[in-house]
A and B are shown apart, each in its own frame.
Chain A
Amino acid sequence: MVRWKRVLSKVYLALIFLFLYLPILMLIVLSFNNSRSRVTWGGFTLNWYVRLFSDSRILDALRTTLALGIGSAAIATLIGTLGAMGIQAMKRRNYQIVMAVTNIPVLNADIVTGIAMMLWFVRFMPLGFSSVLIGHVTFSIPYVILSVMPKLRQLNLSIYEAARDLGANGVYAFGKIILPQIWTGILSGFFMALTMSMDDFVITYFTKGAGVNTLSTMIYGEIRKGIKPEMYALSTLIFAVVLIILLCTNFLSGRGKEAAEKKQPAD
């Protein structure tokens, strides 16, 4: 009975993962398909990977996407981390108001956020890279705040005060005491912001104007004409790079945790 149940639950999890990863598998296969057709297998090729690097339009869009992702994540992390620390020091009433406003971009529909920003931007600036960047920073900041905030709440402030008491100045104590304690929150906030930016389509679509293209908007524009197989190759490459980075960091942090757990004696 129990064994049967265990097998069944493994099968269920496997099906969920299959559901989540089937399209990705499909795209990876297509990136090696020696045929422009999306439905027939024309043999294995690395052709699209080679061609990719001579397609200046795709490379342009990639550069824009990466610049947007890293730039917006960095700005959002800076403003968001400072913001989280400031908000946390606020009085209850102000705290609640600011947190409610913080949740607006998370709760609101992307399409409404995107259109609202577009309508606002056209009043005083041309739509382009900067307007998209501002848009990405705006929807990323809440994720930074939401991942830094819990760390701040767990923060042992008495250590900071002890450091000040022992003669450390504010900046030094912040760097040596506070930062190490909230570092993981900041890092995962940055990563979330980067992920959201790379994955975004709707906000970019409404705030980009004519000249700028990210990978998402470029693909969307090509749907009717047919997607270039080079796109599958590029997406597979990005996916593989991120997968490797994540596996490495997860493996390293997992090992650190295990070592820490082993030190604790079991009762």
Chain B
Amino acid sequence: MKRKYWAAPYLVWVVGFVVLPLITIGVSAMTDDQGHFTWENLLSIGDPINRQALLFSLAIALGCTVICILLAYPAAMILRSLRLNKRGFAILIMILPMWMNFILRILAWQMILSPNGVLNFLIGKLGAGPLQISNSWIALMIGSVYDFLPFMILPVFNAISDIDEDTIEAARDLGANDRAVFWKVILPLSAPGMISGIIMVFVPAMTSFVIADILGGGKIQLIGNIIEQEFTKSMNWHAGSGLSISLMIFVLISLAFTMKNDLKDKGTTIW
């Protein structure tokens, strides 16, 4: 038997459970209750409430991604400099939190950030007034960064670890100081890692609804929350599908825009 046929079960699976569901949601998005064709569901993303939620989600996702990049690079650089020689160890530390239930971990942040929580207790000890950040977009941002940071650190760390020490030494040899080594060698060479990090952070941050649900205290509506409610509360599946497809298209466009920018910048940021 030819080896390529070994993929047959996988291909059947992909068609049955990836492609067909996507077609189904697409059809659902473009029909109404009577089964007639309509653009309405897709265009409802432009309704004021939905549009506001979409833009707010975009802002949160962008902020979260940028913060993750800023936190991940120093961490990845330091991990590299430790020369643990054990990539497995870094991965372990980043993956391990996933084994504590995700919703419980977000609930823990709610407790930490609450007016009488651990954070305010510590700040009170330092003599400062209590911070009112629970149930706000700040709490949502902290929760999002917390949940998605490992998905930025891991690919960035992998990319940075893959850079040959010789390449860095060559740059030093040619007169580059620490700063020049970072901007002209490490950053451009780790760009692919950063891009996969961006995808792994931006998409879930943009579309999650659980974090906003718990840490936003019901006051914050991301586009994910609206879609979820269309299915669980309003029972308006066609509208929900329409919003989902619009969201998917929007995310794809944002990603394509980031990629294109990155590729275009490649020539200019290096020098």
> How far is it, in angstroms, between the C-alpha of A117 and the C-alpha of B81 when the chains are bound?
44
Cα–Cα, bound, A202→B245 (Å)? 17
Q: Does B64 contact A (CB under 8 A)?
A: no
A246:B13 contact, CB within 8 angstroms? no
Chain B minimum-CB-distance residue to A206: B231
CB of A68 within 8 A of chain B? Answer: no
Chain A residue at minimal CB-CB distance from B1: A170
Contact A220 B210 (CB under 8 A): yes
Least CB distance from A2 to B in Å reads 11
Q: Verify A235–B100 contact, CB threshold 8 A.
A: yes
Which residues on the B side are within 8 Å of A115 (C-beta)? 25, 227, 231, 240-241, 244
A34 in the interface, Cβ–Cβ < 8 Å?
no
Interface string of B1-36 (1 = CB under 8 A from A): 011111111110110011111101100100000000
Interface 0/1 of B116-128, CB less than 8 Å to A: 1110000000000
Most buried by A among B10, B97, B108, B228: B10
B108, A26: Cβ atoms closer than 8 Å: yes
Contact A102 B25 (CB under 8 A): no
For B149, list chain A residues within 8 Å (CB): 16, 19-20
CB distance from A186 to the nearest CB of B (A): 14
With the chains together, A220 CA to B112 CA distance in Å?
Answer: 18
Q: Which residues of A contact B240 (CB under 8 A)?
A: 115
Q: Give B72-107 as 1s and 0s: 1 = Cβ < 8 Å from A's Cβ atoms.
A: 001100110100011011001111111111111111
The closest CB in chain A to the CB of B149 belongs to A20
Q: How many A-B residue pairs have CB under 8 A?
A: 223
Known: A23-B105, A23-B108, A112-B207. Contact between A86 and B4, CB under 8 A? yes
Contact, CB under 8 Å: A39 / B116: yes
Chain B residues 226 to 265 lying within 8 A of chain A, measured CB to CB, are: 227-228, 231, 237, 240-241, 244-245, 247-248, 251, 255
Q: How far is the CA of A252 from the CA of B245 in the complex (A)?
A: 47
- Is B102 touching A199 in the complex (CB atoms < 8 A)? yes
Q: How far is the CA of A134 from the CA of B12 in the complex (A)?
A: 13
CB distance from A32 to the nearest CB of B (A): 15
Known: A9-B81, A16-B71, A250-B92. A85 touches B206 (CB 8 A): no
B105 to A138, Cβ gap below 8 A? no
Chain B nearest CB from A187 CB (Å) reads 12
B161 to chain A, nearest CB (A): 14
B residues less than 8 Å from A23 (CB atoms)? 100, 104-106, 108-109, 112, 146
Contact of B19 among A26, A90, A101, A201 (CB under 8 A): A101
Seed contacts A85-B6, A115-B227; 5 additional CB < 8 Å A-B pairs: A20-B97, A20-B150, A202-B210, A219-B103, A246-B92
Q: Which 5 A-B pairs have the closest CB atoms?
A: A86-B7, A83-B10, A23-B108, A109-B207, A86-B6
B residues at A contact (CB < 8 Å) = 2-11, 13-14, 17-22, 24-25, 28, 71, 74-75, 78-79, 81, 85-86, 88-89, 92-109, 111-112, 114, 116-118, 146, 149-150, 153, 199, 203-204, 206-210, 214, 224, 227-228, 231, 237, 240-241, 244-245, 247-248, 251, 255
